[in-house]
Structure 1
Amino acid sequence: MQKRWVLGVVFLVATVMLAACSVGSAGSDDVIDIVWYPNESGNDLKSARDAIGDAIADATGKEVEHHLTTDYAIAIETIVNNNADLAFMGAQGYIEAKEQNDKIEPIVVATGPSGTLDDAMYHSWLAVNVDDQDDFKVDGDFSLDTIEGKRFSFVSNSSTSGFVVPSSTILGHFSEMDLTEEDLMEGGPLFSQVLFGGSHQGSAVNLLNGNADVAAFCDSCVNNYVEVANGEENKVGTIYRVKEDAAEPFNTVTGSEFMLMSVTPVLNAPFVANMEVLEQEDYDNIQEVFTSDEIANNEEIFVPKDSEVGGLFSKSDQERFMSVEDEWFNPIRELSQN
């Protein structure tokens, strides 16, 4: 009898603890959990995250909780392992998440200035410090031949524009060396040293603080911190300068300048849902609100290009959210398979 009583108490305690652990977790009837990459987790983007959260709350009638991260892998694992309902992630991160959990589905991506998916792109950069530009030129033009033996900074091996796209470009250029993506993740085969910034901001700072000679990062993740000093946006040879009032982590390198040696268009990043924990009705309502004119005209979400306020999405013309299917991301899948 005593043994049964003890076992009963243990069972009751375990049941209570499991119930407590489930409160507020993804899949809860009254909470929508959204996880963010390190690039979008900074304090300077809190108002932008909150605006997105408010739109989700309005669409579902539920509370929204934000999960901020310092690591790509953690963000991907969070959505894959049913610990988040939604995520904002790059195309490569979505592809990796989809491979691990087939219930991950895209909701929307931001269009290009045309208001369509035809120009729904941002840009992957390879950048060098302005004072070192001649070290990366052959006969006056930038050449990838010059990056061999240099210290290189990527973002994360799960980053589309901070690893997959530049890696594909580099592997194609050095095809005679028979390199793999894994070879680019460590010093020796091509680079003297390889760093990972953990975020696009971190990779850029690796360059500007002198820890790397060349760095990969994207335009959209650093636009809030830099300005064109000379040239045209997203053009090889353009010089960017870190703003004097730039927020962390750029506050340690204000006034520093870098030059673009390579610019490659990349498919825009999606908002995705884990349909194993998110109800279909919530998915439909979120997609409907996100693709509405109201959101397209919300200046907290699509910030006017000339605004001094930083945001997640820029509005220069007809930008808005548009629904996409999984197949839209196949060009990035193909890069990873080459």
Structure 2
Amino acid sequence: MKKVGLLIVVVMLCAVFAACSNSAKESKTITIGWLPNESGEDIKAAREEVGKLVEKATGKKVEHKTTTDYIIAIESIANGNVDLAYLGAQGYIEAKNKNGKVEPLVIPSGKSGTAEDAVYYSWLAVNKGNEAPFKDGDKFKIDNLAGKKFSFVSNSSTSGFKVPSNGIITYFNKIDKYKDLKKDDLLEGGKDKFFSEVLYGGSHQGSAVNLISGKVDVAAFCDTCVANYVSLESGDENRPGAVYKVKEDAAEPFDTVKGKEFSLISVTPVLNSPLVVNTDKISAETIKKLVEAFTSTETAANTNIFVTKDSGKTGIFAKTENEAFVVVDDAFFNPVRELSN
């Protein structure tokens, strides 16, 4: 996104926030809600660093609300039990459908420092050694996915359900036998279902462990949520055929599967996740302060927020090149909305 375009988006968002929140009765405390993926004890310091940024920008105390369920996080921002929340694109859309006063605040950018390449990756993976049914020469295909035991993250997850389920349906609808396959057909397994069994990890980490521990044949989860626990062993990062290994010092829930390896059979780019705000709880003035703080060059350079690979720190946001927080509007997430059409 070019600077002029970004300026227009900021002006538009300020107008939206002002219209929605001029009368907001603010608390002296800002509560931030986190999905299960970012609620682990191992990334507590990373959550607290975001909290420090919010406290410095607003002069308010920050409290963190961690969750064990996607629905709890989504409901919390929609009903005002939290003021800010870090959600996936699908989670944001669901929250906004429940309450139109939920708006995106910022997203982490791509390597370019803009929203143009602001993506992460949804993976379908199998345990190493089980790739053969999904290979056709040097290419990977998902033709043999039917009948397998499968793990999603949550049906409110963008990269752990929405994107992979849409990809599966689109692919198999071209096959006559599965031309009527629908999303609802993937929600649970059984003798007459597409999958023989369907599990839900509750988090991306949980879905990955469902696979690695042998509970399922194939699992959906994303790259960023497992990056702290695995390392690339062979192949190209975020490409089919890449093999990842669980680190020997991996924290829960990967501590039970240390050293195990898995392979990617399908990779799909996904829009980066937004930090969202309930504009009925936070005033336009405070929102302006938050936007300025999150999008500042100081924040982009904060290695406790944007963590480098060789820092030894466990983070939520990665710094590989020019990553920073950038402003987007609601329309940015329309490609995810369209997956439901």
How does the TM-score come out when normalised to structure 2?
A: 0.90
AA matched with 2:60: K
Q: What residue in structure 2 maps to residue 278 of structure 1?
A: 282
Query: Using the alignment, how far apart are the partners of 2:55 and 2:186 within structure 1?
Result: 42
AA matched with 2:199: L
* CA contact 1:232–1:238 (8 Å) conserved in 2: yes
Q: What residue in structure 1 maps to residue 74 of structure 2?
A: 76
- CA separation of 1:27/1:199 partners in 2, compared to 1, >3 Å: closer, same or farther? farther
For residues 248-290 of structure 1, the C-alpha deviation after alignment (integer angstroms, 9 at most, x for no partner) is 0000000000000001000000000001111221111111100
* Structure 1 unaligned blocks of 5 or more: 1-25
Q: What residue in structure 2 maps to residue 256 of structure 1?
A: 260
For residues 151-210 of structure 1, the C-alpha deviation after alignment (integer angstroms, 9 at most, x for no partner) is 000000000000000011100011142111111111132100000000000000000000
- What SS is found at the alignment partner of 2:81? coil
Q: What residue in structure 2 maps to residue 96 of structure 1?
A: 94
* Structure 2 unaligned blocks of 5 or more: 1-23
Q: State the shift of 1:307 in Å.
A: 2.2
Query: Using the alignment, how far apart are the partners of 1:164 and 1:80 within structure 2?
Result: 20
* CA contact 1:137–1:146 (8 Å) conserved in 2: no
AA matched with 1:243: K
Q: What residue in structure 1 maps to residue 329 of structure 2?
A: 325
AA matched with 2:189: G
- CA separation of 1:287/1:164 partners in 2, compared to 1, >3 Å: closer, same or farther? same
Matched, 1:185 2:187: yes
Query: Using the alignment, how far apart are the partners of 2:220 and 2:161 within structure 1?
Result: 7
Q: What residue in structure 2 maps to residue 31 of structure 1?
A: 29
Identify which of 290, 302, 313 aligns with 2:317.
313
- What SS is found at the alignment partner of 1:203? helix
Query: Using the alignment, how far apart are the partners of 1:169 and 1:27 within structure 2?
Result: 43
Q: State the shift of 1:34 in Å.
A: 0.7
Matches within 5 A, 1:157-306: 157-175=155-173, 176=176, 177=178, 178-188=180-190, 189-306=193-310
For residues 118-174 of structure 1, the C-alpha deviation after alignment (integer angstroms, 9 at most, x for no partner) is 110000000000121113223453221111100000000000000000011100011
Matches within 5 A, 1:13-52: 28-52=26-50
Q: What residue in structure 1 maps to residue 119 of structure 2?
A: 121
For residues 79-121 of structure 1, the C-alpha deviation after alignment (integer angstroms, 9 at most, x for no partner) is 1111010000000000000011000000000111111111100
- What SS is found at the alignment partner of 1:289? helix
Name the larger-Rg structure.
Answer: 1
* CA contact 1:27–1:85 (8 Å) conserved in 2: no
Runs of 4+ in 1 over 4 A off after TM superposition: none
Query: Using the alignment, how far apart are the partners of 1:127 and 1:173 within structure 2?
Result: 17
Equivalent pairs, count: 312
Percent identity between the two aligned chains: 57
* CA contact 2:127–2:212 (8 Å) conserved in 1: yes
* CA contact 2:234–2:244 (8 Å) conserved in 1: yes
Q: Which has the higher contact order (CA 8 A, sep 6+)?
A: 2
AA matched with 1:118: E
Q: What residue in structure 2 maps to residue 11 of structure 1?
A: none
Query: Using the alignment, how far apart are the partners of 2:67 and 2:197 within structure 1?
Result: 26
Matched, 1:144 2:132: no
- CA separation of 1:27/1:181 partners in 2, compared to 1, >3 Å: closer, same or farther? farther
- What SS is found at the alignment partner of 2:262? strand
Q: What residue in structure 2 maps to residue 4 of structure 1?
A: none
Query: Using the alignment, how far apart are the partners of 2:221 and 2:57 within structure 1?
Result: 33
- What SS is found at the alignment partner of 2:299? helix
AA matched with 2:90: Q
Q: State the shift of 1:43 in Å.
A: 0.6
Query: Using the alignment, how far apart are the partners of 2:138 and 2:234 within structure 1?
Result: 18
AA matched with 1:281: E
AA matched with 1:76: I
